[in-house]
Amino acid sequence: MSLFDRLRFASQLLAEVARGARLVGMRNVVRTALYRPRLTRMNRRFGGPWGPGFQAPAGNVVGMEAMEDGLMLRLEQGVCSVQVISPHMLRVRIAAGDVMPPYASYATLPEAKRPTPFSWREEGESIRFAVDDRALILRKTPFGLAWEDEMGQGSLGTETLTWEEEGGRLHLRFPETIWWYGLGERACHLALERRTYALTTRDPEGYGPGDDPLYVNIPFLLGVHEGRAFGLLLDRMSDGEITLRRDGGIEYRILGDEIRLDIIFGPEPAQVLARYADLTGRAPLPPLWTLGYHQSRWSYETEAVVRAIAREFRQRRIPCDAIHFDIDYMDGFRCFTWDRQAFPDLPGLLADLHASGFKAVGMIDPGIKVDEHYDVCADGVAQDVFCRLPDGSLFHGPVWPGECYFPDFTSERVRTWWGQWYKRLVDAGFDGFWNDMNEPTIFGGQTFPPRVRHAFEGLGAAHWQVHSAYGMQMARATLAGLERWRPHRRNWVFTRSAYAGTQRYASSWTGDNRSAWEDLRITPAMLMNLGLSGLSFTGSDIGGFEGSPTPELYARWLTSAAFHPFFRTHTAKGAAWQEPWRYGEEVEAICRTYIELRYRLLPAIYTLFWQYATWGMPMMRPMFFEDPADEVLLALDDQWLFGDHLLVAPALEEGMVARDVLLPAGDWYDFWSDERLAGPAVISSPTPLDRVPLFVRAGAALPMGPVRQFVEDKPDAPLELHIYPGSGVSWLYEDDGETLRYREGDYRLTRFKMDFDGHRLRIQRQMAGDWQPPARALTVVFHGVLIERAFLDVTPHSVINNQMQIEDDSWQILEAMIV
């Protein structure tokens, strides 16, 4: 190493130490440095083989036997089972031993598996396993597999299946022109690049485009070829990697002695995602306030600061529903406590926030400070809930409070213990909870030693076998605790780390991004791939977590994020304050306008969440949902569909004054001007700082509400139905937004079917459910046409300024004549 290289290395090391000291304190920098050799010693002492312990190909099929739900094949090295999950899903498991181990999964639901007729027959050197007109083809010599749907589309076959000392390696061939999506959280374009992706969860301590892995590992791939889609769930919680090869194939490597492959047939992308939701579960409807605007910072460190932030929002008339409390509200970073000096009357503060329409969200980490005088720690030791090393000693590592123990969330008993501690924070007045540092993270970008022991629901496991599900199970424990203490209300948890199926328990966000234009540019793609992996209720730290955005960057980020599922500003300690009024009057006014628009769109956004919770459809949808055979749409990731009818195309680059927008086939209305535009077409749309190009599909009935300062403000305000003439179907889902009564039918679902021939517009309304909204008027607003006269259930009805005021809630048909 040259002198220059040594000096550069020393400079980088000092910069990292300085950054660490600024963020976590010098004491924790020292603790981290001391932990690293201890981790090395633990790994050396407790390490050992991960998987088969030999290296050999799987070999030929040497025997087979029928099972009730499929086939069991015996290989020269291992066994393979093929099972039917449902008419559109198959499961392949390949194990290195002579016996297939018991099936255990945190990702999939037992009830997803249902009796389904199937057939199989030998065809020379292969076995054809069929469910209706979908088939799995199993090659005998050497063992391999392929599958095809009713049109013959699917995998081209297995190149190799090899066992290695530490795990398995599977090569699958696909057409070179296939497109891949999903894989959870990836800091890249929507169409996954042909490269290797790590299958694990990790705190990258800040990241930018291309960095991998990140906090969320969802090993689900959506493949699209020639307009037909299918899904692959590679359900293993241990570390692995997947290479998307340039020839279209995939190479899958995983630690351990079992490979799993759940195959989900389409052919429509929406059908694949609906079936993936059948397999891994659906998100519950959230409290309505979670869809409003959230304000956060690391940290609002005192009661006075929190009160000042809340006061500014209300005085400036900028809508906001939630203020987040980062880790500094705690007493010395001890979970389930608060600092009595900084927050001398936390229950009183939260009560006052509630009186002003705010909800409070508190952070909780998994690390419990090693302190015999700290009740959570002392009780945890007494109840034996913390993770242990193979020699029986308690594992501990440095995080925010110093040395910490960590609960074993893979035990139902421990999850129950964890949930009980939320009572004191619920009683204090917190409304939602934020689970952080649960990859799990030890300072220094590290995690648990691989041989830390877990109960794994009584089966027993080492940490390396369940690593990616640790954060998911923490979220599960958190939600269960909240349901215990607030059994009749909807509870909300959001988690930094997640695995397949986490949507059943929590939402998420993209973690510690940077205040940089390239980070804003990849954010829509990251959120869409998360949605294509089943986790749609996600967002980013508006403005960037690390660093301080320019006024232009903050404005562009917030106006874009108004059309993301989760809408929160958050920033790091040491960065500039990032409340909407910090960037001058112009930016404040722009932010207010778009936050107000978000609140006006809440009836539509809540309906999008109902579609996600019911059908598995992501709220933020890629453009290729319009035509999965269109290669231009397959690659497009700087514009998106926010539900069925809104097309969002924000400016994501510095200094942009106009941008191209691709309008899919059909007619579209410019949201701002009502101009009707014909697609498919590429148009140039102006992008001044106060303008997000926004378009509405012809045939949409778009529900909107009033400007509110928070979601419970103006509950009896009129509902608006904005009509964009064309032919189509629209939905409106409503309930009380707070309780669980919707599960018993206490909701209202309205379907609007619109027909338009250029002269006459007809809207048919159908309703289901028992919920009755507050007494309110309905204002129907027509766009892009001039209404001459209108009829409500054949009775003439007045139209003033292209609007109708409807007091009668029983109408079924609206007809309007165009001038």
Q: Is the pLDDT of residue 15 over 60?
A: no
Q: Are 515 and 548 in contact (CB under 8 A)?
A: yes
The residue from 339, 408, 436, 579 that is catalytic is 436
Q: What is the amino acid identity at position 69?
A: D
Q: Is the pLDDT of residue 166 over 50?
A: yes
Q: What is the pLDDT of residue 18?
A: 58
Q: Is the pLDDT of residue 25 over 80?
A: no
Query: Which residues, in sequence order, are bridge partners of residue 178?
Result: none
Tokens 């406590």 identify what position? Answer: 337
DSSP characters over 491-504 = -EEEESSEETTGGG
E strands present in 365-460 = 368-369, 397-399, 402-405, 432-435, 453-454
Q: What is the pLDDT of residue 14?
A: 56
Q: What is the pLDDT of residue 153?
A: 76
Rounded to whole angstroms, the Cα distance separating 325 from 323 reads 7
Q: pLDDT, tens digit, for every residue of 196-234?
A: 999 999 999 999 999 999 999 999 999 999 999 999 999
Q: Is the pLDDT of residue 17 over 90?
A: no
Token couple for 429: 């007045």
CA angle 339, 512, 366 (to 5 degrees): 45
The radius of gyration computed from the CA coordinates of the chain, to the nearest angstrom, equals 27
Closest C-alpha to 710, from 352, 277, 314, 421: 314
Q: What is the pLDDT of residue 601?
A: 98
Q: Is the pLDDT of residue 734 over 60?
A: yes
The residue from 185, 239, 512, 579 that is catalytic is 512
Element (H, E) at 678: strand 676-686
Closest C-alpha to 119, from 127, 107, 111: 127
Rounded to whole angstroms, the Cα distance separating 50 from 255 reads 6
Q: What is the pLDDT of residue 716?
A: 78
Q: Classify the C-alpha dihedral 788-790-796-800 as positive or negative.
A: negative
For 343, list phi and psi in degrees, rounded to 5.
Answer: -130, 75
Q: What is the pLDDT of residue 799?
A: 96
**Mean of the pLDDT values across residues 735-747?**
98
**Mean of the pLDDT values across residues 116-135?**
94
Neighbours of 371 (CB within 10 A): 17
In this prediction, residue 9 has a pLDDT band, given cuts at 50, 70 and 90, of very low
Closest C-alpha to 519, from 528, 510, 530, 509: 510
Proportion of the chain in helix, strand, coil states, percent, rounded to 5: 25, 30, 45
Decide if 268 is catalytic: no
Rounded to whole angstroms, the Cα distance separating 114 from 228 reads 25
**Mean of the pLDDT values across residues 112-127?**
94
Decide if 258 is catalytic: no
Decide if 644 is catalytic: no
Q: Is the pLDDT of residue 21 over 60?
A: no
Rounded to whole angstroms, the Cα distance separating 682 from 664 reads 9
Q: pLDDT, tens digit, for every residue of 795-812?
A: 999 999 999 999 989 999
Q: What is the pLDDT of residue 808?
A: 87
Decide the pairing of beta strands 78-86 and 89-95.
antiparallel
Rounded to whole angstroms, the Cα distance separating 410 from 476 reads 10
Q: What angle do the packed helices 303-315 and 346-355 form, to 10 degrees?
A: 10
Q: pLDDT, tens digit, for every residue of 337-372?
A: 999 999 999 999 999 999 999 999 999 999 999 999
Q: What is the pLDDT of residue 177?
A: 97
The residue from 439, 588, 720, 735 that is catalytic is 439
Q: What is the pLDDT of residue 551?
A: 99
DSSP 32: H
DSSP characters over 256-312 = SSEEEEEEEE-SSHHHHHHHHHHHH--PPPPPGGGGSEEE--TT--SHHHHHHHHHH
For 144, list phi and psi in degrees, rounded to 5.
Answer: -165, 170
Mean pLDDT of all residues belonging to the chain: 95
Strand order in the sheet with 567-569: 507-508, 492-495, 432-435, 359-364, 322-325, 293-295, 567-569, 541-542
Closest C-alpha to 261, from 175, 171, 344: 171
Query: Which residues, in sequence order, are bridge partners of residue 119?
Result: 130
Q: What is the pLDDT of residue 40?
A: 84
Rounded to whole angstroms, the Cα distance separating 735 from 770 reads 9
763-767 long-range Cβ contacts below 8 angstroms, 24+ apart = 763/701, 763/723, 763/813, 763/814, 763/815, 764/812, 764/813, 765/811, 765/812, 765/813, 765/814, 766/812
**Mean of the pLDDT values across residues 614-619?**
98
Rounded to whole angstroms, the Cα distance separating 111 from 263 reads 17
Residue scoring higher pLDDT (446 or 375): 375
Q: pLDDT, tens digit, for every residue of 26-76?
A: 777 787 887 888 888 888 888 766 788 889 999 999 999 999 999 999 999
Q: pLDDT, tens digit, for every residue of 461-502?
A: 999 999 999 999 999 999 999 999 999 999 999 999 999 999
Distant-in-sequence, close-in-space partners of 600: CB < 8 Å, separation ≥ 6: 704, 705, 706, 707
Q: What is the pLDDT of residue 31?
A: 78
Q: Is the pLDDT of residue 12 over 60?
A: no
For 815, list phi and psi in degrees, rounded to 5.
Answer: -125, 140
Distant-in-sequence, close-in-space partners of 153: CB < 8 Å, separation ≥ 6: 225, 226, 228, 230, 267
Distant-in-sequence, close-in-space partners of 535: CB < 8 Å, separation ≥ 6: 184, 216, 218, 498, 502, 503, 507, 508
Q: Whole-model pTM?
A: 0.96
